[in-house]
Chains A and B, each alone.
Chain A
Amino acid sequence: MTPDMTVQPSETAARVHPAMVRITHWVGAAAVIAMTLSGWAIYNASPILPFVFPPSLTLGGWLGGGIAWHIASMWVLIADGAAYLAWGLASGHFRRDFLPLSARGVARDFWAALTLRLVHRLGSYNAVQRLLYVLVLAAIVLAVLSGLSIWKPVQLGWLTWLFGGYDFARRIHFALMSGIVAFLVVHVVLVALVPSTLVSMITGGRRPAEPGRA
């Protein structure tokens, strides 16, 4: 019990990010990065595009090491993602923080951001943020599913079929990785522009008394 408890009626309501969001965010971030770098090691063994990733950026040292890292971090990502999705649905986090999500809202906030008029409010996502978070979560789920479909094209043959067959599923898996990495780049740049968001994702942060002053 912290002394603040006497001031704030609810500890969780005062936090920008609940502990569950912070834990699953960082575990998930580590797993996604490990999966990406080990995935590059696997890709390099048989590239589907006319380039390879710099070996010094890959994880695992060789194909066997890359696969070992990839599948090991897959279990971490699945456990982490399942916990987050179940909690997000049950706690109302998705409904509260990601909805409503409208095209008009996205267009409005995107324009505001481009003209530098978008105010960042800790603890409340603007429409562009909501869209990007929903998209990257969907991309991660689809990346896991398409990955499972190329890992188990016989036992999970129906899943491989849904992704257009073995070869097409490999391309989808690669495209989803590219999308996730693109998100990561934008995400990290924006965090660098508003460093208080990094602090709040670690400590939980405090919701400002008045919105718009953060």
Chain B
Amino acid sequence: MVRRSDHLTQLRKLERRHLLRGGLSLGAAAMLGGCDLSTKDGVVDRVLWSMLRFNDRVQAALFDPNRLAATFRPDQITRPFKFNAYYPVSQVRKPDPDWQLEVSGLVGEDKSWSLDELRALPQDSQITRHICVEGWSQIGQWSGVPLGLFLRRIGADLRARYVGFECFDDYSSSIDMASALHPQTILALDFEGAPLTPEWGAPVRLRIPTKLGFKNPKNIAAITVTNTYPGGYWEDQGYNWFSGS
């Protein structure tokens, strides 16, 4: 038998615990206010943001354009493969039937690419480790058009600093040109030998095993070649922009 008074005691305990915890976090926040990248003008946050930019430069210097990420055998592929995005799998968006990949910025011709045109280009396949910024990792197989080949095909200025990606699920990201031209950086059209389904990034996603998972945008709508820092969904919140592996 459950009595009302029991519930009341429990509720009071809970309230007290919440108050205590709230007080503790408030104390911590007051002591170190703005030390989580949430502000642009807090002293600690300013130091952290400039350290992030310093880390970008160190990682760009460390990046070897010829060093390949480790590859794996088909029997080492992780199954089931874990879905991950900034939203749950139930909110995955399907591409429009008339989807085309837009290309803009420092490129030879402003032309949109259909999926068939992308499939007609030379394709490359890889089995590589996808490492999430959270620490977990999984091995998957992707194939598609090497991004370096595509950038040359569209007459992109290869001396430009950034390649930016806009996605129709309102995600975005951007990478440095050196990483874009890496031989293992591909515009993936297939996942495990079959055309990408929406949750894995249909119709085209970036697969770049020399960077962390969040630098592998899915459901791409547009690619921009630019010298203006494009940032990205997570990068703007404080994930390190370069995030090289």
Contacts and interface: CB of A to CB of B under 8 A. Distances in A.
Contacts of B125: none
A175 to B, nearest CB: 15
A56 B48 contact: no
Contact of A68 (B21, B37, B69, B136): B37
Output the residue of A45, A59, A68 with the most chain B CB within 10 A.
A68
Given A46-B135, A65-B238, A60 B36 contact: yes
B137 A167 contact: yes
Chain A residues touching B, majority SS: helix
B48 A65 contact: yes
Contacts of B133: 45, 63, 67
Contacts, number: 89
Given A61-B38, A64-B238, A154-B210, A46 B134 contact: yes
A154 B67 contact: yes
Interface string B208-245: 01100000000000000000000000100111100011
A62 B36 contact: yes
A19 interface: no
B51 A155 contact: no
Contacts of B67: 154-155, 157
Interface in A152-178: 152-155, 157, 166-167, 170
B63 interface: yes
A40 interface: no
A178 to B, nearest CB: 16
Interface string A92-110: 0000000000000000000
B202 to A, nearest CB: 26
A142 B69 CA distance: 23
Contacts of B14: none
Contact of A153 (B63, B234, B245): B245
B96 to A, nearest CB: 32
B50 to A, nearest CB: 9
Given A64-B239, A68-B51, A167-B137, A155 B244 contact: yes
Contacts of A71: 51-52, 55, 240
A72 interface: yes
Interface string B46-81: 011101101100000011100111100000000000
B24 interface: yes
B132 interface: yes
Contact of A61 (B35, B51, B69, B209): B35
A46 B136 contact: yes
Output the residue of A60, A62, A71, A154 with the most chain B CB within 10 A.
A154
Contact of A42 (B37, B49, B129, B135): B135
Contacts of A64: 36-37, 234, 237-239
Contacts of A170: 135
B120 interface: no
A56 B37 contact: no
A46 B132 contact: yes
Nearest to B36: A61
Nearest to A56: B24
Interface of B: 21, 24-25, 28, 35-38, 47-49, 51-52, 54-55, 62-64, 67-70, 129, 131-137, 209-210, 234, 237-240, 244-245
Given A75-B54, A157-B67, A166-B131, 6 more contacts: A45-B133, A60-B35, A61-B37, A64-B36, A64-B237, A68-B51
Across chains A and B, which 9 residue pairs bring their CB atoms closest together, nearest first?
A: A61-B36, A65-B36, A64-B238, A46-B135, A72-B51, A45-B134, A46-B134, A154-B245, A68-B48
5 contacts: A64-B238, A65-B36, A65-B48, A154-B69, A155-B245
